[in-house]
Each structure stands twice: as C-alpha cells, then as structure tokens.
Amino acid sequence: MTDCVFCRIVDGTIGAKIVCQDEHCLAFEDINPQAPVHVLVIPKRHIRSLNEFETSDTELLGRLLQTCRTVAHLKELTSAGYRVVANTGSQAGQTVFHFHFHVLGKRMFRWPPG
Ligand code: AMP
Ligand code: ZN
C-alpha cells in the first residue's frame, strides 16, 4: 500500500532506524518515543490491525512476538521489565493502520494505562 507509512518504511521509500528484521518482520525506532526505548515491530505484509489477522497468520503472530522478545534482549530490557502494546482501533489510540506492537522500556509504567 503506497499510502501506508509503514509499508513505505518496509520498501525503503521512507527511512527508519532499523533495530532488527527477518523475512516477515521489521523492528524500528518510533519517531516520537514515549519512553527511552520505544521500538515498533510490524509485519512486512500490510495488515490493518489485530482484527484483520486470519487463522492462517498464527505463525506470523508468533514471529512478531518473538521479534518483540529479540528487541527486549537487544535493548537490554529483560531484567528491569518492559511493555508490549498493540493499540487496536481509534478508541484505543491506533493512529497508523498497519499492525504494530510497541515495545517500550527503560522507565516506570503505570497500570491501568490512560
Ligand atoms: P499507534 O498510535 O499505536 O497507531 O502508533 C503509531 C506510532 O507510529 C506512533 O508512536 C508514532 O510515533 C509512530 N510513527 C508514525 N510515523 C512514523 C515513522 N515514519 N517512523 C517511525 N515511527 C512512526
Ligand atoms: Zn502498510
């Protein structure tokens, strides 16, 4: 999708600070970080939100979470703790409609989130 900012990061049209990637998943730094570590983990294929994952995407969902785990290791978040979030839909605060996990760390987080 050419009008999707994250698809344009995947195809290289828009630059991003890449943290790690494999054939199916890409992790890059959030442009407007909400914590000292704020990385986005996306599927390279355009999927609008969590709602649009199919049963056949179960392996991809696992890969995305494994990529979050890799980010946590690379950014040294594992001992102190970190947060993985997928805002789904506008009421939850989703603004970019290409699925992404936020991986946030290196500060204290409150619960429940606002
Ligand atoms: P959400 O509000 O959950 O949809 O999150 C979208 C996230 O994408 C926000 O945290 C934005 O700061 C981030 N974002 C938007 N455009 C870019 C970009 N070009 N590069 C990196 N992060 C971006
Ligand atoms: Zn997209």
What is the fold of 5-105? Answer: HIT family, subunit A (3.30.428)
Atom 17 of ligand 1 has which residue's CA nearest to it? 31
Core vs surface per residue 34-58: b (16+ CB within 10 A) or e: ebebbbbbbbbeebebeeebeeebe
User: Reduced to 3 DSSP states, what percent helix, strand and coil does the chain have, rounded to the nearest 5?
Assistant: 30, 20, 50
Looking at the CA of 7, which ligand is closest?
Answer: 2
What are 46-67's pLDDT values in tens digits? 999 999 999 999 999 999 999 9
Dist. CA 81 → ligand 2 center (Å): 29
- Over residues 3-17, the pLDDT tens digits come to 999 999 999 999 999
- Where are the chain's structural domains? 5-105
How many Å lie between the centroid of ligand 1 and the Cα of residue 84?
15
pLDDT at 70: 98
Q: Is the pTM of this model over 0.75?
A: yes
Helix, strand, or coil (residue 30)? coil
The C-alpha atoms of residue 47 and residue 98 are separated, in whole angstroms, by 5
Confidence of residue 2 (pLDDT cuts 50, 70, 90): confident
pLDDT, mean over the chain? 97
Which residues are close to ligand 2, an ion, with C-beta < 5 A?
A: 1, 4, 6-7, 46, 98
